[in-house]
């Protein structure tokens, strides 16, 4: 890692507020003792017992675990400039690697230290992880799907490829030689932006999906499934996927099964907000996108009641969804759907870490790594205060912001 602010991984800080990442009650006025990069103690702050010169004073600040974005597409920028989008779709790696480095810098500036990539047609994110990401020099963790799988002739080319023949999905997964972190399967069309509630047919049968999940498991890989609508989601859930991506109009029965089977949901709801904004800007009618968003918020509220594990994923790279700060509108929507801020943050910390099976749980408590972000003001200012992260602490070492934390070229 480059340019640490304080060349020590031990010390004490006093924070105005602490969000633990588990969704627990927000703690006020706490002292955090850091030793050898770990949290040695968390206690109610008692200035009378502390030596002021040795304490980092963050009383006007909130600390929370580093964030995880569980659904991104690093190869594509969140621009609505269609010319740039068309270029990035098929640009060579030499060009896209610079784009990806910029995106990773944006993540670190927003306090996001781990992302799960949902695939790109040329597997540039996979190549970037292998050739450019120096994990000795950056705390950034990147998990990749390489290329997603879609049925011949159906939606998915921009993020993936098709098996050699229809009906051979499991064989294709088994034959994959790239060292991917998870398998991504596309099992429906895009959520309709023209016809409210329109559902597309599944791309794969239950038998095909079951065989695919099994083939992935043999390789120790979990499966993330892009699925909108009741039947496509039902197939993915019954087959034993690890997570449902998007899940627009999947319905309550699917949510119930997901809660029972501990299957994650990544609602990517802010994509609809971004479409609304985009269409308003260009003078088109944003009604269907707005109604999609409202419906998704209803599903989020139902999922919370049922106990479905939700992880924050932005689908960054989608029109108007920026890498890094795109996590803010997604958290805003979770809040609007009824999640208290500490629960919304949990979706972007502990839940993301569990979904990605990260080495650290992205939780702040005794004995765990002292890795957290510092934002100005009380938790009432979240998630907007994430727009200007004050500091990032990685295992006890402080950085001023995300800059200087990546070596990607």
Q: Does the footprint of Zn ion cover residue 146 (CB under 5 A)?
A: no
- What are φ and ψ of residue 187, in 5° steps? -120, 15
Angle at 49 between CA 43 and CA 52, to 5 degrees: 100
Report which residue's Cβ sits closest to Zn ion: 118
State which residue, 115 or 386, has the beta carbon closest to Zn ion.
115
Beta carbon of residue 351, minimum distance to Zn ion (angstroms, whole number): 18
Q: How far is the CB of 233 from Zn ion (least distance, A)?
A: 15
Q: Find the part of the chain contacting Zn ion (CB under 5 A) among 5-13, 299-307, 310-318, 358-366.
A: 310-318
SS3 per residue for 96-152? HHHHHHHHHHHHHHCCEEEEEECCCCCCHHHHHHHHCCCCCCCCCEEECCCCEECCC
Of the ranges 101-109, 199-207, 309-317, 387-395, which one interacts with Zn ion (CB under 5 A)? Answer: 309-317
Cis preceding linkage at 383, omega within 30: yes
Binding mask 50-69 for Zn ion (x = CB under 5 A): --------------------
**Nearest CB to Zn ion, comparing residues 118 and 247:** 118
Q: What x-and-dash track marks residues 103-122 binding Zn ion by CB under 5 A?
A: ---------------x----
The residue within the footprint of Zn ion, chosen from 162, 208, 315, 330 (CB under 5 A), is 315
Q: Which is nearer to Zn ion, 118 or 163 (CB)?
A: 118
Q: How far apart are CA 261 and CA 52, in angstroms?
A: 50
How big is the site for Zn ion, counted in residues (CB under 5 A)?
2
Q: Least distance from C-beta 118 to Zn ion, angstroms?
A: 4
Pairwise CA distance, residues 334 & 340, whole Å: 8
**Cα–Cα distances in Å, from 344 out to 226, 263, 313, 329, 361?**
22, 18, 12, 11, 16
Structure tokens at 299: 């599903």
Nearer to Zn ion, 141 or 228 (CB): 228
Shorter beta-carbon distance to Zn ion: residue 181 or 315: 315
Minimum CB separation of residue 315 from Zn ion in Å reads 4
Smallest distance from Zn ion to CB 318, Å: 7
User: At closest approach, how far in Å is the CB of 174 from Zn ion?
Assistant: 24
Nearer Cβ to Zn ion (22/124): 124
- In contact, 382 and 375? CB cutoff 8 Å: yes
Shortest distance (Å) from residue 388 CB to Zn ion: 27
* 3-state helix, strand and coil shares in percent for the chain, rounded to the nearest 5: 35, 20, 45
Q: Which is nearer to Zn ion, 115 or 331 (CB)?
A: 115
**Of 73, 14, 91, residue with least CA distance to 317:** 73
Closest C-alpha to 346, from 331, 329, 326, 328:
331
Q: Which residues contact 341 (CB under 8 A, 6 or more apart)?
A: 19, 26, 331, 335, 379, 380, 382, 383
Residue whose CB is less far from Zn ion, 23 or 118: 118
Q: Which region, judged by CB under 5 A, interacts with Zn ion, from 10-18, 315-323, 350-358, 384-392?
A: 315-323
Query: CB 31 → Zn ion: shortest distance, Å?
Result: 41
Q: Is 314 helix (H, G, I), strand (E, B) or coil?
A: coil
Q: 337: which residues sit within 8 A by CB, 6+ positions away?
A: 297, 298, 300, 301, 304
Q: How far is the CB of 143 from Zn ion (least distance, A)?
A: 14
The CB-of-73 to Zn ion minimum distance in angstroms stands at 6
Considering only 142-150, 227-235, 313-321, 381-389, which stretch makes contact with Zn ion by CB under 5 A?
313-321
Q: Which residue in 263, 264, 277 sits closest to 318, CA to CA? A: 277
Nearer to Zn ion, 22 or 116 (CB): 116
Give the strand pairing for 243-246 and 264-266.
parallel
| Residue nearer to Zn ion on the CB measure, 118 or 160 | 118
Residue given tokens 């208290």 in the structure block = 340
| Comparison of 228 and 385: residue with beta carbon closer to Zn ion | 228
Q: In what order do the strands lie in the sheet with 112-117?
A: 67-72, 112-117, 141-143
The site for Zn ion (CB under 5 A) is made up of 118, 315
């Amino acid at each position: 890692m480059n340019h640490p602010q304080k060349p020590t991984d031990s010390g004490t800080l006093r924070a105005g507020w602490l969000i633990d990442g588990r969704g627990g009650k927000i703690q006020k006025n706490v002292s955090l003792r850091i030793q050898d990069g770990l949290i040695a103690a968390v206690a109610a702050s008692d200035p009378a017992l502390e030596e002021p010169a040795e304490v980092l004073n963050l009383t006007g600040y909130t600390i929370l675990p580093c964030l995880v974005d569980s659904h991104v597409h690093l190869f594509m920028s969140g621009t609505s400039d269609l010319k740039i989008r068309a270029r990035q779709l098929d640009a060579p790696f030499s060009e896209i690697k610079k784009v990806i480095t910029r995106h990773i810098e944006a993540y670190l500036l927003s306090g996001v230290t781990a992302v799960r990539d949902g695939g790109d047609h040329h597997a540039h994110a996979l190549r970037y992880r292998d050739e450019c990401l120096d994990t000795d020099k950056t705390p950034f963790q990147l998990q990749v799907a390489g290329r997603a799988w879609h049925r011949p002739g159906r939606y998915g080319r921009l993020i993936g490829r098709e098996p050699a023949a229809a009906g051979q999905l499991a064989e294709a997964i088994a034959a994959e030689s790239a060292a991917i972190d998870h398998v991504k399967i596309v099992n429906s069309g895009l959520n309709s932006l023209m016809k409210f509630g329109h559902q597309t047919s599944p791309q794969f049968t239950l038998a095909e999906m079951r065989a695919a999940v099994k083939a992935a498991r043999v390789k120790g890989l979990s499966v993330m499934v892009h699925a909108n609508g009741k039947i496509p989601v039902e197939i993915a859930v019954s087959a034993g996927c690890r997570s449902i991506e998007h899940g627009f109009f999947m319905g309550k029965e699917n949510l119930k099964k997901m809660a029972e089977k501990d299957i994650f949901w990544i609602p990517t709801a802010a994509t609809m907000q971004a479409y609304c904004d985009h269409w308003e800007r260009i003078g088109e009618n944003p009604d269907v996108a707005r109604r999609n968003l409202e419906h998704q918020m209803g599903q989020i509220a139902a999922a919370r009641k049922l106990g479905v594990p939700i992880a924050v994923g932005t689908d960054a790279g989608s029109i108007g969804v920026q890498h890094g700060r795109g996590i803010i509108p997604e958290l805003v929507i979770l809040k609007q759907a009824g999640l208290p801020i500490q629960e919304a943050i949990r979706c972007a910390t502990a839940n993301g870490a569990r979904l990605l099976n990260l080495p650290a749980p992205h939780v702040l408590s005794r004995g765990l790594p002292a890795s957290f972000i510092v934002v100005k003001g009380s938790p009432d200012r979240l998630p907007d205060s994430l727009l200007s992260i004050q500091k990032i602490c990685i295992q006890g070492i402080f950085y001023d912001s995300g800059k200087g934390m990546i070596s990607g070229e």
